[in-house]
Amino acid sequence: MRIVLVGPPGAGKGTQAVRLSEELRIPHISTGDLFRANISQQTELGKLAKSYMDAGNLVPDEVTIAMAEDRMGQPDAENGFLLDGFPRNVSQAEALDELLENENVTLDAVLDLEVPEDEVVKRIAGRRTCRNKSEHVFHVTYSPPKKEGVCDVCGGELYQRDDDSEGTVRKRLEVYHTQTEPIIDYYKAQGLVVTISALGPVDEITQRALGALKRDEDAK
Ligand code: AP5
């Protein structure tokens, strides 16, 4: 399956993507995680991306699309993938369509996670991310690690992301509304959007998502 996951910052895209990619046996491709890996390795791409990310802005399309295409071209993504955080504006969605067309494949669904704004603010404020692997995510109240400040999965140090400060989160939400939300209409026109509520316990949301994707597939 080829799926795009969309939703505001802090909606739980990364949290759900880890579970869904395991259930669906497709790789989880997060452009945010790829940028953070470049930042920790201090690559040129990482240095460039950090300045945009810390300000809550999108990293320029040219480098983002090239990075995403390179990752989607790796062997593990040949039979499908779960995209998290890409595409993030209409021109990225058009670039993805072009890439898929060249490969003679199509998207199966765009899973839209709906969460009220006051909830995403609470989720982001309490988020703690692993320095070793930004896919390992915790929350001080909703899903605390067994030992404070330590990742349950790999023992890495937990930290608060630089772009999770209050001012940056406000900017990220604004960017989401102005630049990312339009891709939902773009994909609605292609009949691909499956919307679910992302409120409630994490495992319940995973089951809700799997059920909605299955119903959508059966209806096609
Ligand atoms: P990215 O890393 O993609 O950030 P985001 O989209 O803002 O999403 P988040 O990672 O903040 O949240 P999430 O929805 O994954 O939530 P999570 O599962 O962590 O992008 C960061 C930056 O990189 C961008 O701002 C941009 O600069 C750049 N970038 C990335 N992609 C780009 C692109 N395509 N083009 C240009 N620039 C790009 O959950 C949040 C918290 O809530 C966690 O603490 C979690 O434990 C908790 N939680 C999750 N689910 C629940 C639940 N059901 N109940 C209670 N708590 C929950």
Which long-range CB contacts under 8 A does 200-207 form with residues at least 24 apart? 202/12, 202/15, 202/16, 202/19, 202/143, 203/19, 205/12, 205/16, 205/113, 206/16, 206/19, 206/20, 206/23
| Residue for token pair 């992301």 | 161
CA distance 175 to 57: 7
Known binding-site residues for AMP equal 31, 36, 57-59, 85-88, 92, 161, 172
State the pLDDT at residue 72. Answer: 97
CA distance 158 to 92: 31
| Beta bridge partner(s), residue 171 | none
- pTM (2 d.p.): 0.96
36 lines ligand 1 (CB under 6 A): no
Each residue's pLDDT tens digit in the chain (220 positions)?
999 999 999 999 999 999 999 999 999 999 999 999 999 999 999 999 999 999 999 999 999 999 999 999 999 999 999 999 999 999 999 999 999 999 999 999 999 999 999 999 999 999 999 999 988 999 999 999 999 999 999 999 999 999 998 889 999 999 999 999 999 999 999 999 999 999 999 999 999 999 999 999 999 8
State the pLDDT at residue 113. Answer: 98
Please say whether the beta carbons of 95 and 132 come within 8 A. Answer: no
State the pLDDT at residue 178. Answer: 98
**CA of 9, closest atom in ligand 1:** 7
Q: Which residues contact 96 (CB under 8 A, 6 or more apart)?
A: 4, 68, 83, 86, 87, 107
Please say whether the beta carbons of 148 and 58 come within 8 A. Answer: no
Nearest to 187 by CA among 93, 115, 105, 95: 93
- Is 19 one of the annotated active-site residues of the chain? no
- Is 88 one of the annotated active-site residues of the chain? yes
Domain boundaries, the chain: 2-219
Q: What is the DSSP letter of 15?
A: H
Written as one string, the DSSP assignment of 166-199 is: HHHHHHHHHHIIIIITHHHHHHHTTT-EEEEE--
Q: Which residues contact 184 (CB under 8 A, 6 or more apart)?
A: 6, 110, 112, 193
- Is 122 one of the annotated active-site residues of the chain? no
Q: What is the DSSP letter of 162?
A: G
The CATH number for 2-219, chosen from 3.40.50.300, 1.10.1840.10, 1.10.3300.10, 3.40.50.620, is: 3.40.50.300
Known binding-site residues equal 10-15, 31, 36, 57-59, 85-88, 92, 127, 137-138, 161, 172, 200
